[in-house]
Structure 1
Amino acid sequence: MERAPFYEQIARGPEGGAAYWLTARDGVRIRFGHWPSPPQPRGTVFLLCGRTEYVEKYGPAAADFAARGYAMLAIDWRGQGLADRILPDAPEKGHVGGLQDYQWDLHAVIDAADELGLPQPYFLLGHSMGGAIGLRAIEHQNHRFAAAAFSAPMWGIKAPALLHPFRILLAQLLGDSFLAEAYPPGMNGTTYVYRDSFLTNRLTRDPEMWAWLIEQAAKHPELTLAGPTIHWVAESLLECEALASLPSPDLPCYCGLGAEEKIVHCPAVHDRMNRWPKGRLDLIPGAEHELMMEIPTTRARFYDGCAALFDAAGGLEARDKLTAESA
């Protein structure tokens, strides 16, 4: 495990963050970063970020979890951030061989967390695309997580109403066609924060967070990613369809979803949470897609929901109660 670049000046996380290069079992190089554990840590949150994202974007999340007693790490998945880009001749395109390839990345990070001695138990937090990766991971019987939280998980992809009934057929036909590496209609080679404005963006209502994302892109454009390829969209549709057919894991779960969500397919999230016996769906009024980049009250509500889940799953809720009663 080698040290990798870490842009602390744009991360806004706890002091002392560090990043490392890892090589997944299929030879792809990825990057992950973690921040120092708080005093008497309650465990480590594995933040599985969404498409286009990177480690430094979640420095504030690390600070919020540290304030609640949790260490945190974040991942540059293959094809984004400083990880190996899958299309060397078009590195700005979001591309992957298949959605399940991301499992190799997660396995490498779990091994690295063990090697670094990060605090246990481990907890999963999947945002957007990371929600699909995380759900796939905890469907395996030998996973390492005590509980799972999700932020606007990509358990379904929105398609135009007329095309929705044919989305799987189209994915099968186009995913490996001569159009596979092209952008879908409406996408291009510009990263999202440059392509949209604050007033029309679908990520956050917080102007300071929006300005910070633009600042990160300007200072380190090598971290950014543009639109996905048709192949990425096709593989994502097929993975979401496969996940939808699986039962919910026997694991405590908290899922936050903005009431103004416009990116992931909300009916798929409601359907999954309606059949997750140990799960709770928190529909947050007024919130857009990125709950961890939203206005302060939304961020606090989401982090408190995650921490309550993790505390209970780690047995800390009862332990804190006993400590308070004996004081």
Structure 2
Amino acid sequence: MELSPAPFFEDVAGGPAGGAAHWLQTTDGPRIRMAHWRPQGDASGTVFMFPGRTEYIEKYGSTAAEFAQRGFAMLAVDWRGQGLADRLLDNPRIGHVDRFPDYQHDVRAVIDLATQLDLPKPWYVIGHSMGGAIGFRAVVEQGCFAACAFTGPMWGIFFTPVMKPLSRLTAYWGTALGLGERTPPTTSLESYVLSQPFKDNMLTRDPAMFKMMQDQLTGHPDLSLGAPSNRWLREALSECAWLMDQPAPDTPCLTFLGSHEQIVDRKAIRARMANWPNGTLVEIPDGEHEVLMEAPDVRGPVLDQLAAHFLSHQS
């Protein structure tokens, strides 16, 4: 397969030198984007970084730099419907997917390109938020990861008691009534980090990281994404129910959960990890949704634990 270079915004990524991005054509149609970085010298393997909803490759440039310092190559992906990947609706600000398992077409395209690029093995995967749901299914179905890890994985979605029935009604009945491409009530088409002040945000307690995210979207507005569609919400809820019914895979797992998590369902994460025989759950005191985007005194130990976890499962 001939490599197809894709835009890569190094001015805001902050990744290690030598990063490159490529377009990937999925077997069912949408074009997605992948970037990869290698450390200096021999690598201890490659970390597949599976981002969350609304995210994009450049957001994880600093994470790639951290892993490069620890001797790992890393890749990240723009899922269909976000980043610079093909947007799936006429309104590009709405996050959408027809079926949640469609993301596995993206996963297979990434695996094929990683194979073609001969990215160092063993391969490991980190799934953040929505990427945690995609990554769980990938671990179950793909069989190519020596170990897995998750940060604030979307194995359930958090709703307030008031919003839970309304959100489910909108997701299922709204989609059934032909409103699947509309957004749920009370949501916005503006990017969260550009519309929400740092104070009381649900992502990070580190003002420097929050500003980094704001600067990335201000500098490159095409990366921005707003609310999900009703259909995306229906599909996400169905996928969460599916994965919670699955037996835990044999793959060794390390999961991080912020104690102040307000986006995904903490109970679902605790329940899943309590039944993962080769799994460990680490709860981060005062942590928000994005433990990889917290201050250095939080982020550093998390990355050290991830590196140690991967190194202990190199066979």
Per the shorter chain, which TM-score range? over 0.9
* Structure 1 position 179, deviation (Å): 2.2
- 1:302-313 matches, cutoff 5 A: 302-313=302-313
Query: Letter of the aligned partner of 1:61 in structure 2?
Result: T
1: CA distance between counterparts of 2:175 and 2:45? 40
Query: Letter of the aligned partner of 1:105 in structure 2?
Result: D
Aligned partner of 2:55 in structure 1 is 53
TM-score by length of 2: 0.96
2: CA distance between counterparts of 1:83 and 1:74? 12
Instruction: Provide Cα deviations, 1:209-252, integer angstroms capped at 9, x if missing partner.
Output: 11111111111000111111111111100110111111100110
1: CA distance between counterparts of 2:198 and 2:130? 22
Aligned partner of 1:211 in structure 2 is 211
Aligned 8 A contact 1:174 1:234 in 2: no
Distance 1:300 1:128, change over 3 A: same
- 1:290-301 matches, cutoff 5 A: 290-301=290-301
Aligned 8 A contact 2:170 2:184 in 1: no
Is 1:150 the equivalent of 2:150?
yes
Aligned 8 A contact 2:45 2:123 in 1: yes
Aligned partner of 2:76 in structure 1 is 74
* Structure 1 position 190, deviation (Å): 0.6
- 1:270-309 matches, cutoff 5 A: 270-309=270-309
2: CA distance between counterparts of 1:311 and 1:62? 16
Task: Determine helix, strand or coil for the equivalent of 2:112.
Answer: helix
Distance 1:181 1:305, change over 3 A: same
Aligned partner of 1:177 in structure 2 is 177
Query: Letter of the aligned partner of 1:238 in structure 2?
Result: S
2: CA distance between counterparts of 1:176 and 1:22? 32
1: CA distance between counterparts of 2:129 and 2:101? 15
Aligned partner of 1:36 in structure 2 is 38
1: CA distance between counterparts of 2:166 and 2:6? 43
1: CA distance between counterparts of 2:229 and 2:168? 16
Distance 1:8 1:278, change over 3 A: same
1: CA distance between counterparts of 2:121 and 2:91? 39
Aligned partner of 1:239 in structure 2 is 239
- 1:123-162 matches, cutoff 5 A: 123-140=124-141, 142-161=142-161
Aligned 8 A contact 2:167 2:184 in 1: no
Instruction: Provide Cα deviations, 1:60-118, integer angstroms capped at 9, x if missing partner.
Output: 0001111111100000000000000000x201111111111100001000000010111
Q: Which runs of 5+ in 1 are unaligned?
A: 316-327
Is 1:188 the equivalent of 2:188?
yes
Aligned 8 A contact 2:171 2:184 in 1: no
1: CA distance between counterparts of 2:165 and 2:11? 46
Query: Letter of the aligned partner of 1:117 in structure 2?
Result: D
* Structure 1 position 175, deviation (Å): 2.9
Q: 2:67 aligns with which of 65, 68, 72?
A: 65
42-51 vs 188-197, which moves further: 188-197
Aligned partner of 1:3 in structure 2 is 5
Distance 1:242 1:167, change over 3 A: farther
Root-mean-square deviation (CA, aligned residues, Å) is 1.5
Aligned partner of 1:97 in structure 2 is 98
Structure number, greater radius of gyration: 1
Give the 4+ runs in structure 1 shifted more than 3 A.
Answer: 162-172
Query: Letter of the aligned partner of 1:76 in structure 2?
Result: D
Task: Determine helix, strand or coil for the equivalent of 1:57.
Answer: helix
Query: Letter of the aligned partner of 1:187 in structure 2?
Result: T
How many residues are treated as equivalent by the alignment? 313
Q: Which runs of 5+ in 2 are unaligned?
A: none
